[in-house]
Structure 1
């Protein structure tokens, strides 16, 4: 992949996140990368081509991140905590623009866009990975339920964090999810959200 192509994908990725796919034009991306339209079209003929490249890039980065968590953390609990803590690490961006995965999936679904299934693969990647971590914790029967619950919880927190811009809310919810995880026992029914204080 050429450096210019990488720059176009990186710029498009950020603009799709900040402005949305529908409201980002070729001109927006070309201006950000500071290249001519002719050079731009040499690499991508349509905005849908760029979208697929962005999704592919996000899938690659997500796989790399999950692999890094596997390498850095000795236990499945610690790996799941790394997933939960994304909300803290990326809180500034989340409060401004929401979750990059969730917002793109939602927008493409509303547009009934052909790439929606490709974008959903990123969410599925998280679901499958979380399910394997819960299985490794000794919860094979309800691993997928726990994975979906945690994925839904983090997406809900990201949505409300964007709506209210409240960092204290994010920190509170992250602590609640950490406590819920600590209470998870093999094949328990603790997949329900913790009660609010």
Structure 2
């Protein structure tokens, strides 16, 4: 395995461990063990855990941009694009019930630690916020697009938090259905071009 592949594997493993166990609770040794590297080889790629955190945040930013870009390309209706965002709660329900929202949990932990990367992690929320606002603008709600974007972002975070506490899949499905009803109420002229089942 080449150096680039090894570095990417380290970031992938760190991303998973930070999500499942938390940034502070995950050590260099934990990551090195899962990757299968000696500490000496590990330090060749990353000197500090903060360097790994920066790489994890950048990886998440890139993955989020790719996901949002795919929704833009594959879905014509802004309403359906917003529904794609809401449906993350169902698509990732098992992980969310076990560990919470990966964005929210990381931002909360770094804020509590007053970590220098807390602002960088929060850019993930900004990415979703700006994208959602653009969808509401496309739906003719330019005057309050940002407020609507923040509302649905806040709602999804609340659902994720309670889903982790309650471990109740039915709760997630009910809340997603309610968010969809709210969305249609905001944009009554909009139609769902591709209605889908909650699977």
TM-score (structure 2 length as normaliser) = 0.92
Q: CA deviation at 1:28?
A: 0.3
Matched, 1:96 2:98: yes
Matched, 1:167 2:169: yes
Q: How does 1:1-197 map to 2 (within 5 A)?
A: 2-185=4-187
Q: Which ranges of structure 1 fall in alignment gaps of 5 or more residues?
A: 187-197
* Counterpart-to-counterpart distance in 1, 2:187 and 2:38: 57
Structure 1 stretches of 4+ with a deviation exceeding 2 A read: none
* Counterpart-to-counterpart distance in 2, 1:130 and 1:160: 22
SS at match of 1:142: helix
SS at match of 2:76: coil
Q: Which ranges of structure 2 fall in alignment gaps of 5 or more residues?
A: 189-199
Q: CA deviation at 1:185?
A: 3.1
Q: CA deviation at 1:135?
A: 0.3
User: What are the Cα deviations for residues 11-33 of structure 1, in whole angstroms up to 9, with x where unaligned?
Assistant: 00000000000000000000000
1:194 is matched with none
Q: CA deviation at 1:125?
A: 0.2
